Amino acid sequence: MLGAPSFPQLHRGKGGRVQASISTENSQPETGLALTAHEDRSLPRESRCGFSTPRVTLKVMRTVYIGMGGNMASWAGAPEATLAAAAQRLESLGRMTRRSSLYSTAPVGFAAQPRFVNAVVELETELEPRGLLEGLQGIELEFGRDRSAGIANGPRTLDLDILLFGELKISESGLEIPHPRLAERAFVLVPLNEIAAGVVVPGAAKTVGQLLTRLIEATKAISDAVVQVRSKVSADKEIGGWPSYREK
């Protein structure tokens, strides 16, 4: 549990922008939960900038993990290039703080299709879960995602899934968090483990690393199914615009 946040400390930032910082008694670094405050621009300027009657809207900043995948070329190029370009677009939804390597993975569920390229990125976002899902679906469409073929787990230019959303657990129509198939998918757990091994998965009472160990013990076949794309990724700084591991 978080301790009660202190009253926001207001500062005048660049361009007269009001900034606020809030401390909590017990922050939780593994989820990166943080509060930020924003100036309410609907108010008259005097009240916005004056410290006598400040009004701020508190927003919760959460650490989320997005699974990325694709196995068909998009306008950006091959799946590696699509994931790199899509990762840049994700910056419009939050601040990217980590990204895994790229992985070449065997298709799951529908075998007669090319191997996928998968990765996981960590974002800090102020968006609500629905807002984030809509943003991700908008980016999927930008890269030519076409759901009309309707083959479950079929070929796609870009798939963006919310894997974890801070400590939230959500089960609604069209939105389930943590992602319901996370614990059984090596192509998700392996890249997620690379950047978030110690993060506890809400509802599972296990860390990502523990879930991966359990999956490896159960299947004994992950090494063939999920292969880190080594060629240039780890040696060079970038491949197809995909920066190296844990780029900050």
Give the residue from 162, 97, 160, 99 showing the smallest Cα distance to 129. 162
Q: Which range binds ligand ADP by CB under 6 A, 84-92, 170-178, 214-222, 231-239? A: 170-178
Residues in 191-220 at the binding interface with ligand ADP, rule: CB under 6 A:
none
175 near ligand ADP, judged by CB under 6 A: yes
Catalytic residue among 147, 159, 224, 246: 159
Answer yes or no: are the C-beta atoms of 188 and 118 closer than 8 Å: yes
Q: Scanning residues 141 to 170, which ones bind Mg ion (CB under 5 A)?
A: 159, 161
Q: Candidates 13-21, 173-181, 193-201, 206-214 — which segment interacts with ligand ADP by CB under 6 A?
A: 173-181
Instruction: Tokens 């009472």: give the residue.
Output: 205
Annotated active-site residue in 161, 185, 214, 236:
161
Give the H or E element holding residue 118: strand 116-125
* 15 vs 174 by CB, closer to Mg ion: 174
Among candidate residues 115, 156, 224, 246, the one labeled active-site is: 156
The residue range among 70-78, 111-119, 156-164, 239-247 that interacts with ligand ADP, by the rule CB under 6 A, is: 156-164
Interaction between residue 161 and ligand ADP (CB under 6 A): yes
- Give the torsion through C-alpha atoms of 233, 223, 156, 167, to 10 deg: -90
Sign of the C-alpha dihedral, residues 111, 136, 230, 194? negative
Of 66 and 85, which CB lies nearer to ligand ADP in the complex structure?
66
| Tokens read off for 55 | 């009004």
What lies within 8 Å, CB to CB, of 245 at 6+ separation is 99, 100, 101, 194, 233, 234
User: Residues binding ligand ADP: what is the number (CB under 6 A)?
Assistant: 11
Does residue 156 carry a catalytic annotation? yes
Is 177 near ligand ADP (CB under 6 A)?
Answer: yes
Q: Which is nearer to ligand ADP, 4 or 112 (CB)?
A: 112
Which stretch of DSSP H or E encloses residue 162? strand 159-165
Instruction: State yes or no: is 159 an active-site residue.
Output: yes
Instruction: Look at residue 99 and give the partner it binds from ligand ADP, Mg ion, none, a contact being a CB closer than 5 to 8 Å depending on partner kind.
Output: none
With CB under 5 to 8 Å by kind, the binding choice for 122 among Mg ion, ligand ADP, none is none
What are the angstrom distances between the C-alpha of 214 and each of 169, 187, 189, 219, 226?
A: 21, 14, 11, 9, 16
Partner whose footprint covers residue 150, from Mg ion, ligand ADP, none (CB < 5 to 8 Å by kind): none
Question: From CA 56, how far away is CA 38, in angstroms rounded?
Answer: 5
| Token pair belonging to 208 | 């990502």
Residues at the contact surface with ligand ADP, assessed by CB under 6 A: 133, 147, 153, 159, 161-162, 174-177, 179
Catalytically active residues are 145, 156, 159, 161
